[in-house]
Structure formats: C-alpha cells, structure tokens
Chain A
Amino acid sequence: MNKSELSETLAVKYGLSLKKAEEVVTAIFDTLTEALGTGERIEIRGFGSFVVNDYKAYTGRNPKTGEAIEVKPKKLPFFKVGKDLRERVGH
C-alpha cells in the first residue's frame, strides 16, 4: 500500500474527500519528519517509536576498490516496532 492508497482508504473509512484525506496523511508524515529533523524521539502507542542516532566521522573503505574514504558525521532514523504490533505481525 502506498501513500495514495492509504489516503484513499482513509477517505472511504472516514467519509472524507480524497483531497482532505491526502492533506491529513501528508500532514502526519510531515510532522514526523520535522520532529526527527530536530532530533526528537517519537513514540506512537500501539505502533512503535522512532529515534535519531548520531554517528561520528570515521574512515571507511570503498568495498570495491579498497580505497580509504572519510565518512562525515551523520544522523540516521531508526524505527522500533511496538510490542502489540510486533505480535500482530509475527504470528
């Protein structure tokens, strides 16, 4: 299911115009992206949590050529599935 299908399903389920449903779905993921952008942790009960981990600069290697390269410091988002959903998915 992609973002448009999610919007369509929301529109049908909630009795909403497709345009409004798209606005809601977009606003939700924009909100999550902005929170992660400031390094904030997100916790959604019954779903899971998102955290941003900081990585320091390190010297890596191009696995093809073996050449050493400087990897800049970076931030990466991680999702940890909540217990309820993990059990629902994993049965």
Chain B
Amino acid sequence: MTKADIVEKIYERVGFSKKESAELVETVFDIIKNTLEGGDKIKIAGFGNFVVKEKADRRGRNPQTGEEITISARKILTFKPSQVLKSSLNKE
C-alpha cells in the first residue's frame, strides 16, 4: 500500500474529491512530520505512538576493521504499536 492507495480509500470513505483527498492525506502526514521534527510525540489511540528518543554518546566498533569509535548522541524516531493494533493483527 502506498500513499496513492490511502488517498483512494479516503476518497471512497469520506466524500471529498480526489484532489482534496490527496491534499488532506498529504497535510496529515505533514502535520505529523513537523510535530515529530519539533521533538513532540504523536499518540494515535488504537494505532500506536510515535516518539522521538534521545540517544546518548556510546562506544561502538567498526565491525569490519575492529576499530573503536564513538557513536555520537542522536535523536531517533520509534514507533510503539498499541495493544489494539497488535490484537487486530492476531485475531481468529
């Protein structure tokens, strides 16, 4: 499934034109991305949470050369699926 398929579903379900549906889907993901970029989390009940986590510096190793390196501090985006989503994948 791609963004185009999501747009098609929104078009079928919510009753906007195809053009509006495409803009709406784009806008929703833009809002989500801007929020996460600002370091805030996105919590979608029934689906899951997108959270930006801060990782501290840590020591690692180049697996090819065995050389020790410092992996710099960074922010990473994680997704934790909700219990509802997990159960819906495992029903029957």
Q: Real complex partners, A and B?
A: yes
Q: If A85-B77, A88-B33 touch, does A76 touch B23 (CB 8 Å cutoff)?
A: no
Tell me the B residues contacting A by CB distance below 8 Å.
1-3, 5-6, 9-10, 13-14, 16, 23-25, 27-29, 31-33, 35-37, 40-48, 50, 52, 74-79, 81, 85-86, 88-90
Contact B43 A77 (CB under 8 A): no
Among residues of A, the one whose C-beta sits closest to the C-beta of B12 is A27
Cβ of B43: which chain A residues have Cβ within 8 Å of it? 1-3
Among residues of B, the one whose C-beta sits closest to the C-beta of A79 is B79
Contact A1 B37 (CB under 8 A): no
Q: If A13-B27, A42-B1 touch, does A90 touch B33 (CB 8 Å cutoff)?
A: no
Contact A36 B89 (CB under 8 A): yes
Cβ of A36: which chain B residues have Cβ within 8 Å of it? 85, 88-89
Cβ of B45: which chain A residues have Cβ within 8 Å of it? 2-3
Among residues of A, the one whose C-beta sits closest to the C-beta of B10 is A27
Shortest distance between the CB of A24 and any CB in chain B (Å): 5
Q: If A13-B31, A44-B3 touch, does A29 touch B47 (CB 8 Å cutoff)?
A: yes
Interface string of A31-67 (1 = CB under 8 A from B): 1110111001111111110001000000000000000
Among A24, A37, A91, residue most surrounded by chain B Cβ atoms (within 10 Å): A24
Among residues of A, the one whose C-beta sits closest to the C-beta of B2 is A43
